[in-house]
Amino acid sequence: MIIPMHVIEMLKKARARFEGETPAARMLPSDADFTTLRPVRNATKSSVAKYWARLTETASRADQDALADPITMENPDQFSANIENFIGTVKMPVGIIGPLRINGLNAQGDYHVPMATTEAALVASYARGAYAATKSGGISTALLYEGVIRTPAFVFDSLLDAGRFVEWVVTEIDALKTAAEATTRFGKLASVEPIIDNNVVFLICRYTTGDAAGQNMVTIATNALCEDIVARCTVRFQAWYIEGNFSGDKKASFLGLVTGRGRKVSASVTLPAAVVEKTLGTSVQAMLDYGQVANLGSHLSGQLGAQAHFANGLAAFYIATGQDAACVAESAIGITRMEARGDDLYCSVTMPNILVGSVGGGTSLPSQSAGLNILGLKGAGKASALAEVAAATCLCGEISIVAAIAAGHFTRAHENLARHR
């Protein structure tokens, strides 16, 4: 057995740090007094000041001014629906890419896409991809499917009882649908799919959620469905849980890759060879050659799907438009394809788990509302277009990074734009 050198170095540093004392003593439970934070939902100037008074040992007045700035503190209550124990707002750099031309079933036109990130070179890369795509006539997009899922779990004494329970659910599906949909104006229960593992049954409850991302919507609806089961089901069970960790909520999963959780979108563009050469600084064949190696790497490392960096574009897009940034964990899976079409390069992405909304969540906050307004996609009737813009943006990033690595420009670009700026 070979012990990696970095492990040996870590142990040496730990020993040196605790020289003269017993490391174990530092790690014993402590009974020192403390005063806990009492959760505050409704933010006021007074509550913000009270929280900052606790932070004087570590945070300066300048730190307070940076987070609790005058614009934020004009109306702190506007953030109450989105956060507890409010102390201010974080300002992130926001850049735009575009115009990004999209010829979609729902998104149609030229868009300037806001991206919030602290990673230098990211916006420049996506902007280059957007320029290449728009110069090639734009990106075709289509929303293929939508359905946000919650998967409650029921535990029984035996496999026989689990089977009887599934039989009961099937016969009562109309009543369960009524119970779930009574909690929401916009959510609709599209299907209930039972999965049996011996004495445990998972119910894959799939919903359409209107123009909201729908995470809270489907949780509340599913809870009502489960309570109706508890009240009326003739099969006894030991326990039930609102989420059996089967749905893939904020986790990459095979279920999400195959069936989708959120909005499934495909986006594609054919780049003429001249655009690849003049705009991206490489050749169609070079991009195809690298794409073949990258695809092999995806398979050998066990990635869910095969893509370069969906998470970069999604995180920046989600933060700028008020989406749940943690959903990037499940949204950033899918397939990138690049194929020769004569002398030209066909590029596409299929993303099964885009969780976005044009209403609800963080979309009404001032900065995020501005991001949606820049796109022209705030409010009712815009969520499907927003999902198509998200996929098209990710395609721009895939095009640019593959071209950069194929041409040997990737490191130089990051040195110029990030390290040596």
Task: Please spell the DSSP secondary structure of 253-286, one letter per residue.
Answer: -HHHHHH-SEEEEEEEEEE-HHHHHHHSSS-HHH
CA atoms within 13 A on the CB side of 260: 20
If we measure between CA atoms, which residue out of 358, 360, 352 comes closest to residue 331?
Answer: 352
For 31, counting Cβ atoms within 10 Å of its Cβ (0-12 exposed, 13-18 middle, 19+ buried), the class is exposed
Instruction: Tell me how far apart the alpha carbons of residues 382 and 416 are, in angstroms, rounded to a whole number.
Output: 38
Contact 215, 259 (CB under 8 A): no
Contact 261, 247 (CB under 8 A): yes
The backbone torsions φ and ψ at residue 415, rounded to the nearest 5 degrees and listed phi first, read: -65, -45
Other CB atoms within 10 A of residue 50 CB? 14
Q: Strands 139-150, 94-104: parallel, antiparallel or unpaired by DSSP?
A: parallel
CA angle 110, 326, 68 (to 5 degrees): 85
Element (H, E) at 124: helix 122-135
Q: Please report where in the chains the tokens 């959760």 appear, as a residue.
A: 39
Which of the residues are catalytic?
A: 119, 324, 414
For 349, counting Cβ atoms within 10 Å of its Cβ (0-12 exposed, 13-18 middle, 19+ buried), the class is buried
Which own/partner pairs from 292-298 qualify as long-range (CB within 8 Å, at least 24 positions apart)?
A: 294/402, 294/405
